[in-house]
Amino acid sequence: MITLNSTHDANLTSWVTSANGHSDFPIQNLPFASFRIHSNEAFRGGVAIGDSIVDLAALASTSLLSGLAQQAAEAAAKPQLNEFMQMGQPAWSALRAALSQLLSSDNSERLPAHCLQLQSQAHYQMPCHVGDYTDFYTSIHHATAVGSLFRPDNPLLPNYKWVPIGYHGRASSLDVSGQAFHRPSGQTKAPDASTPSFGPCKRLDYELEMGIFIGQGNEFGHPIDIDDSHQHVFGMCLFNDWSARDIQAWEYQPLGPFLSKSFASTISPWIVTMEALAPYRSQYLRPESDPTPLPYLCSDNNDEFGSMDIELECFIQTETMRAAGEAPQRLSRSNFRHSYWTIAQMVAHHSVNGCNLRAGDLLGSGTQSGPEAEEAGSLLELSKGGKQAITLANGEQRSFLADGDTITFRGHCERQGFVRIGFGQVESTVLPAKS
């Protein structure tokens, strides 16, 4: 497992003054993204520090790093992070430690000015090439709430407490925060109709999720042991897995989601590494009445540190709110610790059949809903399947999303004795369906 070290020290401050007390990107975080400042220049890897970005291409061209840290910086400086992610935990830690030392207030040798860029001037792309994307279904509260809408007498299917449920999704329509997409069209069937009809989705929804990026892959045919997952998971981001609920209801039986999910998914630009998240791990708890998972999904380490305390929030800004200059309104808040299955269990299950994961592969956590109604991670739950519209502060109502709505997720970790770190935000806007 990843252990705490000097990079997690709560007393550590940076000579980049905006990092000290920054709500998301203090020196204890140091997340990775792919960015550029001008449209005529190449994207390259960067690390967030306060309101600035360490330009890894510029840093790699100096003599400030050496050994494995220098090799890691050269790989991370490329337009996408896959090569760096494939290098594995020793390389990730070496670069993190070197950056922490270079950026520390105690270090008299500061980065040259050209090694720092302002986030306010940056443009982002997908931080890595995602070859494959798998969406899990790890929130038992979401699964139960949604199941109760369609199967009131049997909301939770019998395999849920035994198997981390997931499906293979579409990677090509993943994009970074700022994505705007047209309302999808497809087949739907009204309950009282004898035949389906075609047209724009009427029940468009968001899903409050976390994205989990695979780092070093495994060989084909060689499962990843649950206690070795830390060697294969690079980091996490915020993830909005948009859903067309009416299209989904008609198409999902018997094989599951297809066009209802493949039209768009949006991630935050910054990947927070698992090493940065180490202080916020917590005990993995299951009700005593629930079955014990099969041995390949169990370990003492997973029981003690498998959960992650990540506070999540969802906001909406309608077109009317935007025109009036009104700030986004929070719809709900939840926490990743409510997840019924851990990251280690997801990785172990995904590979147990010999499936080979590769650097840059993305796992979606599934909608992260909590036990209380106000902790729901989707409008489907908040509106009770569309039956109870939500009234916003300006009087507008929403059962599902309207054209022009912008959805924003934010997330952060806090724990006594450690510094708060965050994920930035992911936002995306719904455009009208194409005619």
Q: List binding-site positions for Mg(2+).
A: 241, 261, 265
The position carrying tokens 């004795």 is 417
Would you please indicate which residues are annotated as catalytic (active-site) residues? 142
Q: Are 409 and 312 in contact (CB under 8 A)?
A: yes
DSSP code of residue 120: G
| C-alpha radius of gyration, the chain, whole number | 22
Are the beta carbons of 267 and 211 closer than 8 angstroms?
yes
Instruction: Round to whole Å and give the CA distance between 337 and 334.
Output: 9
For residue 203, what is the DSSP state?
S
The binding site for substrate comprises 137, 151, 248, 252, 367
Instruction: Show Cβ contacts of residue 306 under 8 Å, excluding neighbours closer than 6 positions.
Output: 281, 283, 284, 342, 343, 344, 345
**CB of 265 within 8 A of CB of 173?**
yes
C-alpha–C-alpha distance, residues 22 and 248, integer Å: 41
Contact status, residue 307 vs residue 339, Cβ threshold 8 Å: yes
Cα distance between residue 244 and residue 255, in whole Å: 16
Q: How far apart are CA 251 and CA 254, in angstroms?
A: 8
DSSP assignment letter at 27: T
Preceding peptide of 158 cis, ω within 30° = no
Q: In which element (H, E) is residue 406 found?
A: strand 406-413
The DSSP letter of residue 376 is -
For residues 127 and 43, the answer to whether their CB atoms sit within 8 Å is no
Q: How far apart are CA 215 and CA 325, in angstroms?
A: 41
Which two three-digit tokens encode residue 90? 């020793």
E-state strands within 137-232: 166-169, 174-176, 180-182, 185-188, 197-200, 204-205, 208-214
DSSP-derived 3-state class of residue 257: coil
Tokens in use for 249? Answer: 């209801």
Evaluate the CA torsion angle 338, 340, 345, 312 in order and state its sign.
Answer: negative
